[in-house]
Amino acid sequence: MQTDQKAEYESGSEKQSYDFIVVANRLPVDRVEGDDGELSWRRSPGGLVTAIAPVMQESDGAWVGWHGATDEELEPFENDRIHLIPVPLDEEDLELYYEGFSNSTLWPLYHDVIVPPEFHRTWWDNYKKVNKRFADATARIAAQGATVWVQDYQLQLVPKLLREARPDLRIGFFNHIPFPSPGIFSQLPWRKQILEGLAGADVVGFQRTADASNFLRCMRRYTDRTVKGSLAIPPASPEASGSSPNICRAEAHPISIDTQQVAELAHDPEIIARAKQIRQELGNPKTILLGVDRLDYTKGIRHRLKAYGELLADGDITVGEACLVQVASPSRENVERYQQLKDQVELMVGNLNGEHDTMEHTAIRYLHHSYPMREMIALYLAADIMLVTSLRDGMNLVAKEFVAAHTDDTGMLVLSEFTGAADQLTQSVLVNPHDIDGMKSGIMRALLMDPQDSARRMRRMRRHLRDHDVARWSQTFLSSLALPLPVDTLV
């Protein structure tokens, strides 16, 4: 970095510098309006915030991200003992960087091309611009030798940009979604730039070992780096790679949930009473099946509805004896693919209910809403079988929350083998969501499973979640990031 650039960062507008910084597309807060009309901020729900907030509070850290409103610039502020550094986005950024390149190029590409990705140079140009904005905001506030943890696919160029501006930093990156195989990744016109952007990190974390392996295979095929074990090593000459030669390490660090918090909520008398009320409102069926998803084409909601509809048509389950509750929270409603999916799902639900409903009972209770955590725990407790049928999923924390909530060893999880959670929750009923007959068999297996068998399985899965909670995830990643490289790495 040139001297004038260093001076810019050392004398930036933010006077305070931080030893630990998280960089994510969104800040960990939502703006809320009180009864008196006054605006304030509250912590956002979600596993990432739960995992990292305690670390940030202990280290007096900062979080860099967008605050959620366009065409508005805010000064840095503090909430719940976390320093927040807003990065502004305008309407064009939202359209091109977020809805465009992030969610209509990268998201479908990284999820095995379930729908075709779109490749537009204007989207890519804006993605580069916004990533530079995030990197600049971070470089200005980072203390000498600070640890920076960049989050997710929207910011894959930030590690290299930070490395070039601030080679003193320790940089980690975590990819919360799958990473595609080289054959799929090869479609991306800017594949080398993305890989070099990620390689600016000291450690790149993934949900599954297979994702880390895909990343290293792509590094070997599409960059000049040499792959040695888990390391991506740059060419010996700095000039050959065009940037400072840092060694990037790829590792699997599967994210988890706050298991203790979920278990405590599951023992709350009000939540337990609400779970009983939900069953009563559904007509006290013998079996409640539950799906909880963002309304996203990766979640396999249509496949799930098809399998359930065929079970009804075959007479394997009957309305009144069983009911499916499908929560589909709104997602990316400005993107055409998601609008189409919403129409398709609602048409399927309407057709199935029209064909199978009775005057007293409904086949599917479809809820196009988002719910607070307490209501979600009540739904988990009310349900007998959880259906997670993602066609491709980085992890799926809903599956883990359902298991953690059933502290009485009841219930059973039907889980897609294409979720990251399938690597840990091996005692669930694993299914291939593309195989409708296989999924039907899996649902019936869960429904008819001996209670002793299901209790044993749920205990084993819950034990794993107690030992591998979200706090351990963040601690393990940051501990790995702090490790020095082996002395023989470059030999």
The CA–CA distances, whole Å, from 455 to 140, 385, 459 equal: 53, 13, 6
Q: In the chain, how long is the greatest CA-to-CA distance?
A: 76
The DSSP letter of residue 316 is S
The CA–CA distances, whole Å, from 240 to 159, 247, 248 equal: 19, 14, 16
Q: Give 377-404 as a DSSP string.
A: HHHHHH-SEEEE--SSBS--HHHHHHHH
The DSSP letter of residue 419 is B
The partner residues of 227 in beta bridges, in order of sequence, read 232
Closest by CA to 173, choosing from 194, 196, 202, 145, is 202
The DSSP letter of residue 199 is T
State the Rg of the chain over Cα. 24
Burial of 359 (0-12, 13-18, 19+ CB in 10 A): exposed
Between CA 33 and CA 5 the distance in angstroms is: 40
Between CA 182 and CA 220 the distance in angstroms is: 10
Long-range contacts of 231-238 (CB under 8 A, 24+ apart): 231/485, 231/489, 232/199, 233/489, 233/490, 234/199, 236/490
Burial of 238 (0-12, 13-18, 19+ CB in 10 A): exposed
Q: Give 226-283 as a DSSP string.
A: EEETTEEEPPSSHHHHTS----EEEEE------HHHHHHHHT-HHHHHHHHHHHHHTT
DSSP element (H, E) containing 431: strand 429-431
Q: Give catalytic residue positions.
A: 176, 393
Helices (H), 393-485: 397-405, 436-448, 451-467, 470-482
